[in-house]
Amino acid sequence: MAMGRIEARFASLGARGQSAFIPFLMAGDPDLRATADLALLAGRMGADALEIGVPFSDPMADGPVLQRSADRALKKGVSLSSVLDLVKEVRRGVEIPIVLFGYCNPIHRYGHARLVRDAKEAGVDALLCVDLPPEEAGELKGAADSEDLDLVFLLAPTTSEARVRFIAKAARGFLYLVSITGVTGARMRVGAELKRMVKRIKNLTDLPLAVGFGIDSPKQAASVARVADAVICGSAVMRLVEACSEDRGAMRARVGKLLSSMAASVHGARGKGGG
């Protein structure tokens, strides 16, 4: 079986001794046209994959920045169907993997099999359902496996070794380590504790390990990249989108600068005192 985009991207980066940079965009904030433009910009600025968020009314894992972002998108009428249309448009302009990030309720209402089929057709490479534990993911996993779509699950700092093994068996593509016991946007400290967490998990699975939540600067991203296979950045990006929502030129310039500097820091990290 041929490699999927996610597996191929991690293999290519691994061969070069680099980690992946994965930014997050909330679909529909400030509108779907802007999200499409920023997604294409991310591809040009060095992103290795892209998370596109489906706005939800009760985003329990998200901090204030992404809560406000989701609320603005929902007020614009953004739905799971319109997000899939967005992905289809973005896919025509980028080759990097796309991860659809969302919550269980919209997926359940849409229908698991229907979602997987439509997501695959749109060009999605993986699904990440934040509040769906693997014990309850049988229907979605079966549908995803049948369409050769990766299914990503979360790990927390408190996840036991036995549970890491259990989650890793259910996952495909990569594992997402939530670096803090809090919501998105909370300040993360990169230090010995994170290094121990990453080492412990990587001893238990061969899946690539991405780290996210609270990464808001190129310096911090580089520190994470020295120990993890991928760095995910969401709130820092959407904070700029919020600040520049009335000036699209400034939004592109500021988001593009952040994405470029983040990507350069992540890709160069292991050659600068780590690995």
- What CA–CA distance (Å, rounded) separates 123 from 212? 23
Q: Any catalytic annotation for residue 51?
A: yes
Please pick, among 7, 29, 62, 150, the residue that the annotation labels catalytic. 62
Q: Any catalytic annotation for residue 62?
A: yes
Tokens of 271: 């050659």
State the alpha helices, DSSP H only, in 76-203. 80-91, 104-110, 112-122, 138-146, 161-170, 192-202
With CA atoms as reference, report the closest residue to 129 among 108, 159, 146, 157.
108
- Give residue 112's region: left, alpha or beta (phi > 0; psi -120 to 50): alpha
8 A C-beta contact, residue 42 and residue 34: no
CB atoms within 10 A of CB 250: 13
Q: Which amino acid is at 69?
A: S
CB atoms within 10 A of CB 55: 27
- What CA–CA distance (Å, rounded) separates 173 from 7? 6
End-to-end CA distance of the chain: 31
Q: 186: Cβ–Cβ under 8 A, 6 or more apart, which residues? A: 63, 180, 213, 214
Please pick, among 7, 51, 125, 229, the residue that the annotation labels catalytic. 51
Coil, strand, or helix at residue 125? coil
Give catalytic residue positions: 51, 62
